[in-house]
Chain A
Amino acid sequence: DGGITQSPKYLFRKEGQNVTLSCEQNLNHDAMYWYRQDPGQGLRLIYYSQIVNDFQKGDIAEGYSVSREKKESFPLTVTSAQKNPTAFYLCASGLANEQFFGPGTRLTVL
């Protein structure tokens, strides 16, 4: 089965803690993305990576960090510097003409 997996589906963390969200794809795509989804705001791009060992900031990168050490994996760390981290996070891969999305991780910071 080809696709994108994100884990965990739900994540709870205390305020001030860093947390890492996992994203793995077996679609052999070079490009991967992280989006944040909030009600009424659509999908906003956090970071994207065109190729292994390279990544660029998206529109709302502050308080987030990423790495791209393997083609299949693009983990996102939500740091304590992110002022409002509670949201639904979506990982995607592929080019703009068709991005494939994972099922998402709902992060709640208590």
Chain B
Amino acid sequence: QQQVKQSPQSLIVQKGGISIINCAYENTAFDYFPWYQQFPGKGPALLIAIRPDVSEKKEGRFTISFNKSAKQFSLHIMDSQPGDSATYFCAASKDDYKLSFGAGTTVTVRA
């Protein structure tokens, strides 16, 4: 049973638009929430991460919003570009080693 629930499964956005991916968790022991980006045929790579002591973190066009009381966090991709087309995974961790991943969201950016 998945400890981190991710939605939507896929989304299509026009170039320049905003992509939004949502994740929810139940285990309040989680204290680290990363997002990974995976291109077809490749392994995932860390994109951006947040800890629950902040409500938002921005790196370039990518922003994580974190709502501790709702146990939800989301990834916003601003000004989406065709090169952003990939699968995105949210994850959560409560120790130094294990990550619990969401099911993934495939983002397609149309030119």
CB closest chain-B residue, reference A104:
B43
User: When A42-B6, A101-B44 are in contact, do A95 and B96 touch as well, CB less than 8 Å?
Assistant: yes
Taking the nearest CB of chain B, how far is it from the CB of A7, in angstroms?
Answer: 13
Most B C-beta atoms less than 10 A away, residue of A50, A95, A99, A102: A99
Q: Does A110 contact B (CB under 8 A)?
A: no
In contact, B41 and A99 (Cβ under 8 angstroms) = no
A40:B104 contact, CB within 8 angstroms: yes
Count of B residues near A, CB < 8 Å?
23
Q: How far is the CA of A104 from the CA of B42 in the complex (A)?
A: 7
A43 to B36, CA, bound (A): 11
Does A104 lie within 8 Å of B41, measured CB to CB?
Answer: yes
B95 touches A96 (CB 8 A): yes
Say yes or no for A31: interface residue by CB 8 A criterion.
Answer: yes
Q: In the complex, what distance in Å separates the CA atom of A100 from the CA atom of B46?
A: 8
B43 x A92 contact (CB < 8 A): yes
Q: How far is B99's CA from A101's CA once the two chains are assembled, in angstroms?
A: 13
B9 to A, closest residue via Cβ: A40
**Cross-chain contact B95 with A43 (CB below 8 angstroms):** no
Q: Are B96 and A96 in contact (CB under 8 A)?
A: yes
A103 located at the interface, meaning its Cβ lies under 8 Å from any Cβ of chain B in the complex = yes
Give chain A interface residues in 53-110, CB to chain B under 8 Å.
58, 90, 92, 95-104
Q: A96-B95, A98-B46 are in contact. List 5 more A-B contacts (CB 8 A).
A: A40-B103, A42-B102, A45-B98, A48-B97, A101-B45
